[in-house]
Structure 1
Amino acid sequence: MGGLDSAPVSDNVAVPARSKASSLGRRALNNSLLRFLATGGVSAALDTALLWVLHEELHVSLPPATLFSVMAAFFANFALNKFWSFSSRGFTTRQLVRYTILAGGNWAFTTFAVWALTEFGLYFLVAKLITLAVASAGNYVGYRLWVFKEQ
């Protein structure tokens, strides 16, 4: 009697709270940076898992395993960023060429940086995550201002 469970609750109080949260969620999903980060998370998970399987389980040497895992994540990352993160309409050869140029630079940077950091004694997955963080910052700027910029 008279406890919290029996206190009257106004529908007017609950609805605005849900609407505010829902609105916040919609705005977050409409934010290209947040979508880019989510896409990056999916791509990074794919990339890192494949690297682990190739290098740890299948004993592929680190440079080709790193390069292959980065390339595998390329296709998922392009599609998710194009259509979801940056809502780019249509398919243009120009976007694919620019994305490929940026990806090529990333592949070279990632392959070298992971190898170099492991030479300094870091565990290869730690080296991969550090490299990924550095490359991601450059990628966001490159995608937004160059690759998926509307013509």
Structure 2
Amino acid sequence: MEGVPTQTTPPQTRAERFGDALTSWATKLPKSLRFITPEFVGFAVLGTFTFAIDMAILAALKAWTEWPLPVDVAIGYLCAFGLNYVLNRTVNFKSHAPVGGQMLKFTAITLGDLAFTTIVTTWLNWLGVPFPIARVGAACCVGLFTYVGARFWVFRKEPVQD
């Protein structure tokens, strides 16, 4: 019909296309592994990437500063989580919701994760575990919590209204 507006889906951004390419193989997993969603795969890949950034910053701070370990861990973690938020919002969860509310929710998760990560990393290091291994151990503990918070609270898909 002429003159009647049609609803179309906006074209995907470059980041969204990259996210699809990154995670498309997850839909081809065997039935026993179908609980592994493309969003979980994307979160894991992006989390691994930003964790590497976190570790690089941590190593640089340990090598070039005399700051206490908790300060180094906090700085690396906050830098990596800022990057993680942007990548997950644009590449993985493809969110177009207002940034403000999401950023506040993500900040709440990040602060909880940061406190836990700093305490566990420092405690393990105090027990004699080398700090990179201690940091990896702490990251394993918070990864699933962070995904659940991001998927079901921060980047929650709102139901489509008619």
TM-score by length of structure 2 reads 0.73
Tell me, in whole angstroms, the C-alpha distance in 1 between the residues paired with 2:153 and 2:97.
Answer: 16
Deviation, 1:84, is 1.4
Aligned to 1:99: 106
More helix, by proportion: 1
Match of 2:130 among 106, 123, 131: 123
Aligned to 1:10: none
- 1:91 Cα deviation from its structure 2 partner: 2.8
Larger Rg: 1
Displacement of 1:116 in angstroms is 0.5
Identify the residue that residue 39 of structure 2 maps to in structure 1.
32
* Equivalent residues in 2 for 1:37-116, closer than 5 Å: 37-116=44-123
- 2:96 is paired with a residue whose SS is coil
Q: Secondary structure at the match of 2:91?
A: helix
1:58-86 CA-partner distances (Å, limit 9, x unpaired): 33220100000001112110011111121
Partner in structure 2 of residue 136 of structure 1: 143
Aligned length: 129
Aligned CA RMSD, in angstroms, stands at 2.1
Deviations 1:28-52 (A, max 9, x none): 3880011101110111000011001
- Which runs of 5 or more structure 2 residues have no equivalent in the other structure? 1-20, 28-36
TM superposition score normalised by structure 1: 0.78
Q: Which runs of 4+ in 1 moved over 2 A?
A: 25-30, 56-60
- The secondary structure found in structure 2 opposite 1:87 is coil
Distance 1:118 1:61 in 2: 12
Cα displacement (A) at 1:90: 3.3
Q: Name which structure has the greater RCO, CA cutoff 8 Å, separation 6+.
A: 1
